[in-house]
Amino acid sequence: MTTFAPNPAATADITVEHRPGRPALLRVPRFAGMAEATAWLTAHRSAIQAELHRSGALMLRGLPVTDAAAFAEARDALVTERAGYKEKATPRTDFGEGVFSSTDLPAAQPIRLHNENSYTLDFPGVLLFGCITAPETGGATTVGDMRKALALLPPELTERFEKAGWLLVRNYSDLAGMPWRKAFSSEDPAGAEEYCDAHAIGYEWLDEDTLRTRQLRSAIITHPVTGERVWFNHFAFWNARSLDEDVREVLTDTFGADGLPFDTRLGDGTALTDAEVDAINDAYQAVTVRETWQAGDVMLVDNILCAHGRESFGGDRKILVAMGEPVPLSDCSPTTAPSATPYGM
């Protein structure tokens, strides 16, 4: 695969600010309305895409995006194909036309960096976040370059993940986490089973309302356009070690060590040490950048090159999300083949 090198001519007609500790920023011209804005975005889409492949995330500032409908218009000007939200994991409000709230998790709960749908067999290549109401304090949508994160990980740990991948265990329940009916968009257990069979997911029914799944996925993939290797997974985000100690204790006491809504292991089923999980979280922390939201901002995130998260916040906050440019895992040279069973079994 040929490594992508951005063509300077492709970005010559936009001026992008690169600032330490913040995502790349493009201040757009002042527009009379969304029709004028979408025409400009469409005309500059190639330049914006080239910058996105270079920087991994790009904030567009100054757009007249004031509601979900305007945000959907901006999305359609910036991406060529919409992407769906599969194997749902967090509560979101659906505003229609493929536009959702970024998350409905409590304001006090920060969200660690992760790549959207890293556990599915195809995933959005581009995420778009739009600010309708900026929070009073905090609330940035954090991003981090996964090319840099991979380079920061201990080589021995990287080699183990490269070979064995990562294993995700989920417990779908009405009591904690996401109910299986909502996650798989089916009221029929057979529908959930059919999805799992078709998408390399192992499963077992603990009772009629509780489904446990296991799926082996590659922890390292290659961007199909730029040819760069990246750390791409939910391993640290959903690892029990990453939970606040009090939360982990309550969940474990209530559901048992095997009953957590999410948990992760090395692909062969091996649990990492606390120090090893901390090393992954430290790499995420080292590459995290943030920009304070302003109303009308739209941030594009290359979902393979960059992970994203959220800071806790105060006051009202309304951030929308849309997904586009779906990418099959098979196009990304996974180092571990997807499977319904742990590596080596």
Give per-residue pLDDT as tens, 38-79.
999 999 999 999 999 999 999 999 999 999 999 999 999 999
Query: Which CATH class, in words, describes the domain spanning 149-283?
Result: alpha beta
Can 8-106+122-139+293-329 and 149-283 be said to share one CATH topology? yes
What's residue 341's pLDDT?
97
| Topology at the third CATH level for domain 8-106+122-139+293-329 | Double-stranded beta-helix (3.60.130)
Q: Which two tokens stand for residue 69?
A: 């409908």
Main-chain dihedrals φ then ψ at residue 169, nearest 5 degrees? -115, 125
Domain boundaries, the chain: 8-106+122-139+293-329, 149-283
Residues belonging to the chain: 345
Residue pLDDT, tens place only, 87-98: 888 888 999 999
Per-residue confidence (pLDDT) for residue 12, from 0 to 100: 57
Exposure letters 190-216 (e unless 16+ CB within 10 A, then b): eebbebbeebbbbbeeeeeebbbbbbb
> Is the confidence at residue 326, as pLDDT, over 90?
yes
Among 40, 53, 52, 38, CA closest to 13: 40
Asked if residue 122 lies in contact with residue 328, where contact means CB atoms within 8 angstroms, the answer is yes
pLDDT at 2: 34
Reported as a single tens digit per residue, the pLDDT across 242-298 is: 888 888 888 888 888 888 999 999 999 999 999 999 999 999 999 999 999 999 999
State the Cα angle at 209 between 207 and 214, rounded to 5°. Answer: 75
